[in-house]
Structure formats: structure tokens, C-alpha cells
Structure 1
Amino acid sequence: MAASRALAGPDPRLLVVFCSIRLDPHAVLAGIKEVAAGVPLIGCSSGAEIGVEGPGMGVVAVAAFGGSGFTVRTSAATGTRTAPREGGNEVARSAFAGMDDTNQFMLLLTDGLVQDQDEIIGGVYEMLGAGVVLVGGAAGTAVVSDSGVNADTFHMYDGEVLTDAVVGAAITSDGPFGVAMRHGFQEVGEPMVVTRSRKGRIYTLDNRPAVHAYLDRLGAPAEAYHDKKAFVAFSRLRPLCVLRRATEEVRFVTDDVDLDEGSLMCVGDVPEGGVVWPLDSDADSTIETVDRAWPAAVEALGGRSPLGFLAFDCGIRQDILSQSPTGDRVAEEVSLMARQAAGLPFIGFYTWGEIARIRGVNGLHHQTLVVLAVG
């Protein structure tokens, strides 16, 4: 069982579980409890899982943080679909109270069905400030509710199964940790100014209707301008990059487009007056991201050898690889992750949003690979 393998090391302090949406989470928790009763646990649903055995669908991936050098406090909040900022406040309110401030980070698993993901992170920021690193991902579900497949997300918090939730683990360690994120997209043309927007709704780019400015820049087919289905097929693999002072954040362009008005919608805030860059990709650049993100996470350990890794890889990146003209290349990417891990344990899942905030306020990403290295 995955939990038994994860508990091979001494003194487990935290279990992290990525559970297939195709499984009964209550039964999974019951099985974990048989071998790890009393160990704090956080987890979430996933459409597909990542591990040393390769990509999987319908499996459970479990990682254990352990040893005397780790201190952990878990937390959870519900109701994030209607009150995301309040959920972020609640999950982080007393996260690090009384804990050593050496090598702090918070592992955060949000709900991919929440439209305003950045509001959750904003709520966490209000409690913790900019000094605590955040890393994690958003729970996913099945794209289509097939027979026997849960269409809702779920989270695991110790012995409970929650819906409409966010869970977190405040972690301090006597060893370092490293976080890196890379998206593998190529910028197309020059940056564009967001001349009118409200949250994720972009009305104009460079003072032109956003849809036309975006499609023109990317050389879209004619039908994408007037056919919503054609627009969605084109845009879902071509996001926008929000240029921040300290980082870049990829924003997924959703199917909530108004072709008559000329506005498009992104998951996450796209600030008015800010700058965005249309992006394009291919399977090669998507896979090459592993060779950039993984070493960067290890380098952030400052010379200390890693003990293991967590990977948060976007479900859209999985789509790019599965639809490659040369065939399905998802297994190739996970094989490269295993090569980079060099025999050390690692797990991950294909998320509906990625979280990586090393400094600053923001930290929501899409169509990005985020790697956590633990030293």
C-alpha cells in the first residue's frame, strides 16, 4: 500500500495524500489509518497522479514528512467557493503560532472549482504576511462525470473527507527546502497592456477588444473569432502570462468568453494597468520544463542534499503532452522527473492550479510545473 511505503522512514510527522477522484476517499483514509493512526494528514482529489512508477489514474500517492527536525501543524477551512478569502484567513490564522521561525513554509491544497483562487492566497497573506513561502496545488476532478467517477473535488484532513475546502500544513524544519516553478511556454510578440479589466475579466488589451488583440497576436484561425467552441479549443493551450515585479504568473483563459463584447476571462486576477504576454507551447518545451524546475529546486537547498520531492503539475500540461503530434508523451515527462529525482522519493499530481510564492503577495499559477525539494 502507498501509505506503508511512505512510512518506511522513522518518526513520521505528516502524511500528504493525492487520491484519485475515481476512488472512495473514505475507504482510502480507513486504509491509511490502519498503518498510520495518529499521524497528521492532508490530501486532495486528483484526476491523475504522479509517482516513481509513472503517471497513474485511479491510484493513491502518499508522501511522509518525518524526523525530529520537522514540526507540523495542520488546518482546514470549508466554504471557500462562496468565501475564498475568509477560507484563506481561517486555514492560516494560527498556522505558525508558537513554532520556530527557521525554514518555514506552508503546504496549501485548495479547491480547483473555486473561481477566485487568488482570493484564498490573499487571505493566507493577510494572516502570514510575505515572509512565509507557500507551495501547493488545487484539487482536481474528472473533466466529464463518467459512470462511477466523482464529479466533485474533495480534501482529506486527518480522518475527515471535506468538500468545498482548503487544507494546509504549516511546516518548520531544521533543514532547508527549495521551491521552483517553470511554465515552458514561449512569449509571442511584445507584452500587452491591460487597459481595462475587473479581476479575471479582461475587456481591452492595448485599448482594443481583448479577444481580438489576443487572437490576432497568436495567429488564431478565423473561426475562433466568432465560434465559441473554436475559441476554447484554441485558447486552452495558449494562456496569458501576467508580468509581476518579482515573478511571472500564467493565467488560464477559460471558456467564459464573450465574443460579441470582445472580453475574455482568466482564472485569477489580471490587474488593470498591468502587463501580460500571450503564450504558446509545444510538447518539447513542456517536457523540458522538468529539466529546468527540478535542478532549480535542488539549488535552492543551498548545497544540502535533498531527501525527497513533491511535484504539482498542471492538468493542461498533461493535455499538451497527451495530444502531442508524435503520440502521448505524459509518461516521458514523469520518467524525466524520476531521472531528476535520482532514486529519491517523489510524488505529485496534475492540478487545477499551482501555488508557489517565494516572496511577495501573489503566488497563483496555471499551466506551470511547481517542484518542492525537501532537504
Structure 2
Amino acid sequence: MGTSVGVGYSLSRNPQEAGREAARKALEQQGLSLPDFVFVFATVGYDQQLLIQAIRETTSGAPLSGCSGEGIITQAMVAETNFGVCVMVISSDEMRFDNVYVRDIGRGTDFAGERLAGEIKPLLKADTQACFIFADGLFFDFDPFCRTFETALGAEVHLPLFGGLAADNWTFGRTYQYHDDQVFSQGISSVLMSGPGMVASGISHGCVPIGTRHTITRSKGNIIYEIDGIPALNALEDYVEDGWRDQWNKMSLNLCLGFKTPDTIKKEYGEYVVRYMIEKEDKEGYVKIQSDVQDGNEFWIVRRDKELIRNGLQDISRQIMAKEGTGNPKFVLQFECMGRGKVVFREQEKTELIRSLQEQIGGDVPWIGFYTYGEIGPVSGCNCFHNFTAVVAAIF
């Protein structure tokens, strides 16, 4: 049989109708009746529990993982709306999917990394290829998570991580993670993929530096208190217009922080690692990002560049096609930053960009993805966290 994959989506506003429609389309696409595994990404206008319940019933209770996103992506379809769900069903006698989860990551993502590794380690096999991570984008701090996760797995284990941080509809209020029948927040849903073949990935951001170099002078973990000896928010004033503190979402989507890329990944990734300022605190004047920093770290303010984003998507297809063997991928997962969607491109322009990428990799390949609050993907063998980036994983 090999591997058979189908994808479906729905934009219906009724959660039960949407769940059934998306799952039914996915099953019909490949003539499946009882899939081995199900990926689901959806936006937050739905009653999430009713949505997942309908998908589980339609897919005969097959194991399921996924999360909420700011928008959904399938082959030739992109939708950034409060009501959208996409479903991928997989049936295979060569690939295996084991899903696990952890909750309460608000207690500390370092502790979450250790707990998730404890769930995953007994499931690792010699042919394990990758682990997909869908974490709450409002609580996740990648560096302590990755450090404790990789330490708990052991130095002899190298497990590539791919994925995206769950998002909502720009309210930054609550995101959702899915594991089988369960819908929860402040958690991580994870999928371990094993079997023959390979994962070929491509990663690209589209930001350019503006202004001068800055230095972090007081920080703790992923919180930046002072920049160049003054409160972090005050240091941003030269780059913004009056009233920007009351329009934080708009400002932080246009400007972010660019740190010099470590030499170990610079050749493959480029000059800057981009970080989104997910949160601010006016009284103390700090900003929070989704990975750790240290006093003395230097950075530049960076902004998105539409032409770089376009060129970067072409780079992704070249990266993937340079790594793959022969034939089309079995399926593709795409994790696209919400800052690269409708806030930058007109609807037709955005859709054409995604379609161009899909056609270069395979116009008929089963494809699923979502708009994230952060992306995860390895660079030069190192598991890395990204912002304002597209991460595409093609499974061959």
C-alpha cells in the first residue's frame, strides 16, 4: 500500500459541519475510510471541542494532533479568517505516527521540555525521522524548552524538530492545542514520525535591518528590560510614530529584532535571526520575545521586505529540491508566520505566492499548514526557533 494521504478543508461557520466537511473531503481525496493518523489546524472562531469531536467521529477515532492558527493553508487555498479548518489524513504501512502531549507549560517551558522528552523517549526507534511540535504561542519559550528536551533525550539522540506555535485571531488571548479528543491551552501537542524515507526542509525569513546597532543591557530569560542603558520601550521610540504604544500589535508586526546569526548556521540561514516582540509592559518598560537573551547581546531593528519574502519562498523550494531524492513528496507541512500573510500582502498576491511555492515542490502534493505565532525548524543540524519565517517540511 505504501503511504496514502488526503487533505480537506472547510470555511463553514458551524463547528460540527466544518469538522465533518473537512474530514470527509480529506478521506474522499484518497479513498480512505480508516486513517492511521490525522493532522488538524483550525482558527479560533469555532467551539473548538465541537470541531474536534466532529473530526474524530468522521475519521473513526484515528489518533489526532494539531493546534489553532491565525489562518490555514492547503494546496491552492489560503484562508486567514476566524472560521477555517484543514484536515490531513494519513494511511501507511511504512510510516508510523505516535502522538504525545504535555500541559501546564505556563509553569515553565524548561520543565515542559523535560516532561515531553520523558513521553517521547520510550517511543524512539532507529528509523525515527522527526518530531512535530505544536505549542501554545502565548507561553512558549524555545531556548529553555529545547535545552532541557535535548538533555533529557540524551547526547546520543539527535531528533529534528519541526512545527509552529499555536495562534489565535490577533487578540493574544487564548490558543488551543489538540490531542485525540482533548482540546487544551498552555500545552504542547507533539507527533513523532518514524519509518523509511526522509524529511527535506526549507526555511526563509524576509527582513532587512534599519537604523543602528543596539545592545541589551538588562535582561532575564526572554524579557528585555533595558536597551542601551534605557528602558526597552523607550529605546524603540526613534523607529515609531506617536501613539504606537496603543497600537502595539500593528507596531510589533512591522518592526522586530534582528540578532546576528551564529556562525554555525550563518551560511544556510543568512545574516540575522529575527525575533518578534510578543508582549510589552508599559510600567516597567520591558518587552518579551520567545527565546532567551543575555546582557551584552547586540541586535538591529529589522522590518519585513516584500521582495525578500518572495525571493525567500523560491529559496525554500531550492533548498528542498536540493535535498530530496527522486519523485514528489508524500506530503508537506508548512508553518508560516502570521506576520507574512494579510498584514503584508493583498489576498490575491498572498495566494499566488503560496501557490507558486507549491507548484515548484509539487502541484498535486497533499499540503497542509497554518499561520503561526512562531516557527520551529532545524538549520545546519541545529534545532532552531524562528519568527517572521516560513518553515516547510516535505516528507519523501
Q: Does 1:343 align with 2:361?
A: no
Pick from 60, 74, 81 the counterpart of residue 85 of structure 2: 60
Which residue of the partner structure matches residue 356 of structure 1?
Answer: 377
Equivalent positions of 1:169-318 (< 5 A) are: 169-188=191-210, 192-205=214-227, 210-211=232-233, 216=238, 219-221=239-241, 223=242, 228-229=245-246, 233-245=250-262, 246-247=264-265, 249-256=273-280, 258=282, 263-303=286-326, 305-318=328-341
- In structure 2, distance between residues paired with 1:268 and 1:328: 33
Match among 162, 172, 175 for residue 135 of structure 1: 162
Unaligned runs of 5+ in 2: 1-20, 266-271
User: 2:73: which partner in 1?
Assistant: 50
SS in 1 for 2:200: strand
1:24 is matched with which residue?
Answer: 47
Partner SS for 1:93: helix
Q: 2:311 and 2:144 mapped to 1: Cα distance?
A: 31
Kept in 2: contact 1:179–1:358 (CA 8 A): no
User: Which residue in the other structure is 2:18 paired with?
Assistant: none
Please give the residue correspondences for 1:37-186 in structure 2 after superposition, counting only pairs within 5 Å. Answer: 37-56=60-79, 57=81, 58-97=83-122, 99-102=124-127, 104-114=129-139, 116-128=141-153, 131-144=158-171, 152-186=174-208
Q: Give the letter aligned to residue 73 of structure 2.
A: I
> Where is the helix percentage greater, Structure 1 or Structure 2?
2
Which amino acid counterpart does residue 74 of structure 2 have in structure 1? G
Matched AA of 1:104: Q
Q: Distance in 2 between matches of 1:114 and 1:176?
A: 31
Letter of the 1:61 counterpart:
C
Counterparts of 1:303 and 1:127, CA distance in 2: 36
Cα distance in 2 between the residues matched to 1:142 and 1:234: 17
The offset of 1:356, in angstroms, is 1.3
Change (3 A) 1:283 1:194: same
Structure-1 separation of matches of 2:248 and 2:65: 37
Stretch moving more, 190-199 or 279-288: 190-199
The one-character-per-residue Cα deviations of 1:242-272 (angstroms, maximum 9, x if unpaired) are 33423453211245155x8765432321233
Bigger CA drift: 176-185 or 187-196? 187-196
Separation in 2, partners of 1:22, 1:262: 33
CA distance in 1, matches of 2:285, 2:144: 25
Unaligned runs of 5+ in 1: 146-150
Tell me, in whole angstroms, the C-alpha distance in 1 between the residues paired with 2:379 and 2:153: 13
The answer to whether 1:372 aligns with 2:393 is: yes
Change (3 A) 1:184 1:72: same
Please report how far the alpha carbon of residue 362 of structure 1 lies from its aligned counterpart in structure 2 after TM superposition: 5.3
In 2, distance between residues paired with 1:137 and 1:357? 12
How high is the TM-score relative to the length of structure 1? 0.83
- Identity over aligned residues, as a percent? 24
TM-score, normalised on structure 2? 0.79
Separation of aligned partners in 2, 1:234 and 1:28: 33
Offset at residue 74 of structure 1 (A)? 0.8
Question: CA separation of 1:105/1:30 partners in 2, compared to 1, >3 Å: closer, same or farther?
Answer: same
> Structure 2 CA distance, aligned partners of 1:109 and 1:133?
14
> How many residues are treated as equivalent by the alignment?
361
Rounded to whole Å, the distance in 2 between the matches of 1:263 and 1:289 is 32
Deviates more, 1:363-372 or 1:279-288: 279-288
Letter of the 1:140 partner, please give it.
A
